[in-house]
């Protein structure tokens, strides 16, 4: 099988990195994401996990992928998939500018850009993610942009994923 790659971008900051899909470790998740590309949405910087940026999407897989290749300690360059019930993200503490409510599912596609991440949320406990990709080019530039996003703000910035 041929390796599959995607480009992950912060549009406003004009920064891109290239990631390899981990098809052998997370085949169902990779297939769901690959078939849904391109995807883009408002970017958020994590409050709990530390060095993470992510975008939220409506569910796009025919069936929700199982927890394959899970982690609670993502490393720099990991791309992770999370699915949340709306009630898990429905409080104002998360800072979303759109309604996330009971009866909905939200998919979170995340990029971890630095070390010392721990997927422990004070509201729900451990939050394992599916590691479905690994950045292979451009992580240093992306990490600089993510740090700027943390300090300068995420308003008006878009995180996108597309085939490369």
Residue 23 clears pLDDT 70, i.e. is over it: yes
Q: Which residue, chain included where needed, has tokens 């700027």?
A: 148
| Predicted local distance difference test score (pLDDT) of residue 101 | 64
- Quickly state the pLDDT bin for 66 (edges 50, 70, 90): very high
Residue 143 clears pLDDT 70, i.e. is over it: yes
- Quickly state the pLDDT bin for 47 (edges 50, 70, 90): confident
The pLDDT tens digits of the residues spanning 86-126 come to: 666 666 555 555 556 667 788 999 999 999 999 998 777 89
DSSP string over the chain:
----EEEEEETTTTEEEEEEE-TTT-HHHHHHHHHH-SEEEEEEE-SSSSSEEEEEE---SSSPPP--SEESS--TTEEEEEEEEGGGS-SGGG--SS---TT-EEEEEEEE-SS----EETTTEE--EEEEEEEEE-HHHHHHHHHHHHHH--TT-EEEEEE-
The pLDDT tens digits of the residues spanning 27-43 come to: 999 999 999 999 999 99
Q: In sequence order, what are the residues at sequence separation of 6 or more whose Cβ sits closer than 8 angstroms to the Cβ of residue 97? A: 42
Q: Which residue, chain included where needed, has tokens 């098809």?
A: 23
pLDDT > 70 in the chain, percent: 88
Residues 68-76 have a mean pLDDT of 98
How far, in Å, CA of 81 to CA of 44, rounded?
A: 15
| Predicted local distance difference test score (pLDDT) of residue 124 | 79
pLDDT > 90 in the chain, percent: 78
- Quickly state the pLDDT bin for 57 (edges 50, 70, 90): very high
How far, in Å, CA of 85 to CA of 160, rounded?
A: 22
Q: pLDDT averaged over the chain?
A: 91
Residues 131-141 have a mean pLDDT of 98
pTM for the full predicted model: 0.93
């Amino acid at each position: 099988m041929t390796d599959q790659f995607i480009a992950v971008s912060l549009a406003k900051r004009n920064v891109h990195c290239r990631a390899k899909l981990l098809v052998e470790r997370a085949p169902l998740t990779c297939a769901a994401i690959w078939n849904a590309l391109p995807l883009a949405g408002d970017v958020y910087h994590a409050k709990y996990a530390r060095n993470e940026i992510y975008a939220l999407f409506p569910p796009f897989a025919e069936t929700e992928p199982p927890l394959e290749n899970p982690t609670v300690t993502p490393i720099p360059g990991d791309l992770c998939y999370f699915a949340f019930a709306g009630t898990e993200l429905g409080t104002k503490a998360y800072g979303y500018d759109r309604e996330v409510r009971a009866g909905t599912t939200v998919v979170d596609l995340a990029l971890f850009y630095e070390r010392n991440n721990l997927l422990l949320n004070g509201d729900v406990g451990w939050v394992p993610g599916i590691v479905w990709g690994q950045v292979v080019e451009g992580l240093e530039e992306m990490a600089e942009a993510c740090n700027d996003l943390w300090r300068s703000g995420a308003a008006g910035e878009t995180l996108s994923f597309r085939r490369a």
